[in-house]
Amino acid sequence: MIKLAIVGYGNLGRGVESAVHQNPDMELVAVFTRRDPSSIKLADPSIPVLPLSSIESYADKVDVVILCGGSATDLPVMTPGLAEKFNVVDSFDNHSRIPEHIANVARAAKSGGNTAAVSCGWDPGMFSLARVYAEAALPQGQTYTFWGPGISQGHSDAIRRIEGVQDARQYTIPVEEALEQVRSGVNPQLSTRQKHLRQCWVVAKEGADLARIEREIKEMPGYFADYDTTVNFISQEELKDKHMKMRHGGFVIRSGKTAQGDSHTIEYSLKLESNPQFTSSILVACARAVVRMHRRGEVGCFTLPEIRPCDLMVQELDEIHAHFI
């Protein structure tokens, strides 16, 4: 059995807790938190919830720690910090800072003789793999990544900061025509606006100036100004009814030509009813790989393209050879 600990008990931590039940070789031994442990109720009350400050006392009781914090401020500090003492897995997803994060975690993991896997979600994660395999199979071509339809937490937060807004959800939606153009193999140059739409569902406070809110959303630089954005005002009840699921997904499409001029298109897509639940499931598979790699003496920091696919699987190699190849 692989002994897991979770650090951080938000959506992702809860997802990992439940994902363990779908993996018969995994056992959750503790949840660590910076909050008051007594404020957290696990589905299984026999598993201890402990203050993060006490985690080092678990060094001999845990094979791998899954970090379920945020990429903005938690993981850049916590993953290198814990990698000195534990094998660790995270879903760090700030793309522009991934090389720096890898370097920091690698240094810590090597100094502690541990194994780490970072950026283990779907993007980065499964989409990184899709981009790598597509490039390897078709060295000449172009790869496109589209996100959605799905809720963007960052964009929803940005709307909620506008004066007069009570609540909001923002969907990122790939433009169907752009997808079709990419699939056709013409390798189009696509602007930001041509790739994705932004659809906003906004609950305004009573008496708020709706026209101003709509204008402020549509003109917000970095978030909305470069996109075709629609703004819909709805009631809090409708928002709760229709827009609470953290659906997401997207597409990685590469089209290119082999050396005699034949065209090929490779497409990988995800349609997820719950972004954090799916990410959690991948984190658990990566935790398995990390433990196996550590047992083989593979020390350092790895991303999914550096991990042998079979190490993610509970199935033995014989079964993979017989049923999956």
Which residues of the shown chain bind a copy of itself in the complex (CB under 8 A)? 15, 18-19, 21-23, 95, 98-99, 102, 119, 124, 126, 128-133, 135-140, 183, 245, 258-260, 262-274, 277-278, 280-282, 285, 303-310, 312-315, 317-318, 320-322, 324-325
233 vs 268, beta carbon nearer a copy of itself: 268
Instruction: Using the minimum distance from each CB to a copy of itself, give the nearer residue, 1 or 325.
Output: 325
Nearer to a copy of itself, 4 or 282 (CB): 282
**45 in helix, strand or coil?**
coil
CB of 126 to a copy of itself, least distance (A): 6
Distances in Å between the Cα of 153 and the Cα atoms of 128, 223, 243, 269, 283 are 21, 12, 12, 20, 20
User: Cβ of residue 125: shortest distance to a copy of itself, in angstroms?
Assistant: 9
Provide, rounded to whole angstroms, the least separation between the CB of residue 54 and a copy of itself: 27
Q: How far is the CB of 101 from a copy of itself (least distance, A)?
A: 9
Nearer to a copy of itself, 231 or 287 (CB): 287
Q: Which of 183, 197, 209, 185 lies closest to 155, judged by CA?
A: 197
> Closer to a copy of itself at the Cβ: 21 or 215?
21
Task: Kindly state the smallest distance separating residue 280's Cβ from a copy of itself, in Å.
Answer: 7
> 17 or 74, CB closer to a copy of itself?
17
DSSP label at 271?
E
Q: Which secondary structure element, helix H or strand E, spans residue 59, and what is its range?
A: none
Neighbours of 269 (CB within 10 A): 14
Min CB(256)–a copy of itself separation in Å = 9
Report how far residue 130's alpha carbon sits from residue 253's, in angstroms, rounded to the nearest whole number: 8
Say how far apart CA 34 and CA 55 lie, in whole Å: 11
Question: Least CB distance from residue 135 to a copy of itself, whole Å?
Answer: 6
Scan for tokens 């018969």, then name that residue: 24
How would DSSP label each residue in 152-190? -HHHHHHHHTSTTEEEEEEEEEE-HHHHHHHHHT-----
SS3 assignment, position 290: helix
Which residue, 53 or 140, is less far from a copy of itself as judged by CB? Answer: 140
Whole-number Cα distances in Å, 8 to 16, 74, 113, 134, 303: 10, 10, 24, 34, 21
